[in-house]
Amino acid sequence: MIYLSSEDGTIRRYDGRQDTKRLSAQSVIQTRHEMTDVKFHPVMEHLFANSNAAGDVFLRDDRMAFTSSRSRREDGIVQKVTYHALYRRYMSFCITL
């Protein structure tokens, strides 16, 4: 599995085990803000974290984030932390889980 975050506000999941070359809608999360980073949890493989340009850091559950739109709940967000505007410019995203 490879997760990519992008300036267009998307998080994309690529699964090398699948033969398909195209991404399905279930493999993309669209957000309102530019994404700055995404990291896997080193032990719990269904968890990943991402940050955005607005100063938010999200902990997400893969099982809830990348599912059909009917059963997708809050894009898999388990927890959200927002940094104060003064720190956003200097914030570097580094998560040690």
Is the Cβ–Cβ distance between 43 and 19 less than 8 Å? no
CATH 3.40.50 fits 2-88, yes or no: no
* Partner residues linked to 37 by β-bridges: 51
Over residues 27-41, the mean pLDDT reads 89
What is the pLDDT, as a whole number, of residue 66?
83
Task: Give buried/exposed letters for 52-79 (b at 16+ CB in 10 A, else e).
Answer: beebbbbbbbbebbbeeeeeeeeebbee
Q: Which of 39, 33, 18, 28 is nearest to 66 (CA)?
A: 28
Q: How confident is the model at residue 87 (pLDDT cuts 50, 70, 90)?
A: low
Domain locations in the chain as residue ranges: 2-88
pLDDT digits (tens, 9 = 90+) for 59-84: 999 888 887 766 667 788 888 988 76
